[in-house]
């Protein structure tokens, strides 16, 4: 499967980079994971947004759903008068879950308790520590059994270690520096490094990066915490074959 980074800024867009959004492709199936600010423009550089097969939302903070509305407009208007309907997966533990419903989208609920199948992907969930209900995703490509884990937004939780066990790629919320420990909102460089090391992941990608901060310091702090794992910073338009 192929992962493309469409936006990695934490909280708000800055310096031409949008907020959380990732494209995951396998066997011609295209899944958009979160639709942060700027994601439709970023997506257009890679595929026609109309060719998306599904969208999944981890939670309903603005930096993860800002472009849901304009994506629905693409599906409504771009091929008018034909309206294409895109399924948008999300949980219902927020009044904002109705953002998934429109003339050109269909809300599909996940409970977070049971795994679901989306096209070629087997998707498991882990409720995170965050000011609003949010789910991390462990996505396995059924054909190859390759595993991609996305922490979504979360403070540190030990449960990430079994959840991310042996993942080929762990994409982790690294909004904070080493000294900013024990947050109930986001993780630090050191915390995501420790999880990666204990879970034995093959590659750790730092995302949800704080705008206008020293990301090289985040990178070196994470590397220090996980000497055995390849660590990289998210970059826009970066493609990773998993």
DSSP letters spanning 13-34: -BTTB-BSEEEEEETTEEEEE-
C-beta separation of 13 from 20 below 8 A: no
- Kindly tell me which of 36 and 193 has the beta carbon lying closer to Zn ion: 36
Beta carbon of residue 63, minimum distance to Zn ion (angstroms, whole number): 4
Q: Exposed, middle or buried: residue 134 (CB in 10 Å: 0-12, 13-18, 19+)?
A: buried
Total residues at interface with Zn ion (CB under 5 A) = 3
Q: Exposed, middle or buried: residue 86 (CB in 10 Å: 0-12, 13-18, 19+)?
A: buried
Beta bridge partners of 4: 23, 239
Binding to Zn ion (CB under 5 A): which residues in 124-153?
Answer: 153
Phi, psi of 122 (to 5 degrees): -100, 125
Beta carbon of residue 185, minimum distance to Zn ion (angstroms, whole number): 7
Beta carbon of residue 221, minimum distance to Zn ion (angstroms, whole number): 20
Beta carbon of residue 104, minimum distance to Zn ion (angstroms, whole number): 25
- Kindly tell me which of 14 and 76 has the beta carbon lying closer to Zn ion: 14
- Kindly tell me which of 153 and 190 has the beta carbon lying closer to Zn ion: 153
- Kindly tell me which of 26 and 128 has the beta carbon lying closer to Zn ion: 128
b (16+ CB within 10 A) / e for 108-123: eebebeeebebbbbeb
Interface with Zn ion, residue 34, by CB under 5 A: no
Q: Exposed, middle or buried: residue 130 (CB in 10 Å: 0-12, 13-18, 19+)?
A: buried
- Kindly tell me which of 61 and 100 has the beta carbon lying closer to Zn ion: 61
Beta carbon of residue 11, minimum distance to Zn ion (angstroms, whole number): 6
Phi, psi of 154 (to 5 degrees): -165, 150
Binding to Zn ion (CB under 5 A): which residues in 59-98?
Answer: 61, 63
- Kindly tell me which of 59 and 223 has the beta carbon lying closer to Zn ion: 59
Beta carbon of residue 80, minimum distance to Zn ion (angstroms, whole number): 33
Interaction mask 149-188, Zn ion, x per CB under 5 A? ----x-----------------------------------
Residues 6+ apart with CB under 8 A from 224: 190, 193
Positions that interact with Zn ion (CB under 5 A): 61, 63, 153
């Amino acid at each position: 499967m192929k992962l493309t980074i469409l936006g990695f800024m934490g909280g708000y867009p800055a310096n031409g980079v949008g907020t959380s959004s990732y494209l995951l492709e396998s066997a011609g199936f295209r899944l958009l994971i979160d639709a942060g600010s700027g994601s439709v423009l970023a997506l257009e550089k890679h595929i026609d947004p109309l060719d998306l097969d599904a969208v999944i939302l981890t939670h309903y903070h603005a930096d993860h759903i800002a472009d849901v509305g304009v994506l629905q407009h693409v599906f409504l208007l771009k091929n008018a008068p034909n309206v294409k309907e895109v399924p948008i997966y999300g949980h219902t533990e927020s009044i904002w879950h109705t953002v998934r419903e429109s003339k050109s989208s269909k809300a599909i609920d996940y409970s977070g308790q049971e795994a679901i199948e989306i096209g070629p992907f087997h998707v498991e969930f882990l409720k995170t520590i965050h000011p609003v209900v949010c789910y991390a995703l462990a996505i396995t490509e059924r054909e190859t059994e390759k595993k991609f884990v996305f922490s979504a937004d979360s403070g540190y939780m030990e449960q990430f270690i079994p959840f991310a066990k042996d993942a080929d790629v762990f994409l982790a919320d690294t909004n904070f520096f080493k000294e900013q420990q024990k947050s109930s909102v986001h993780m630090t460089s050191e915390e995501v490094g420790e999880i990666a090391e204990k879970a034995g992941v093959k590659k750790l990608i730092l995302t949800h990066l704080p705008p206008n901060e020293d990301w090289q310091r985040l990178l070196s702090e994470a590397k220090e915490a996980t000497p055995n794992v390849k660590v990289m910073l998210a970059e826009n338009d970066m493609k990773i074959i998993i």
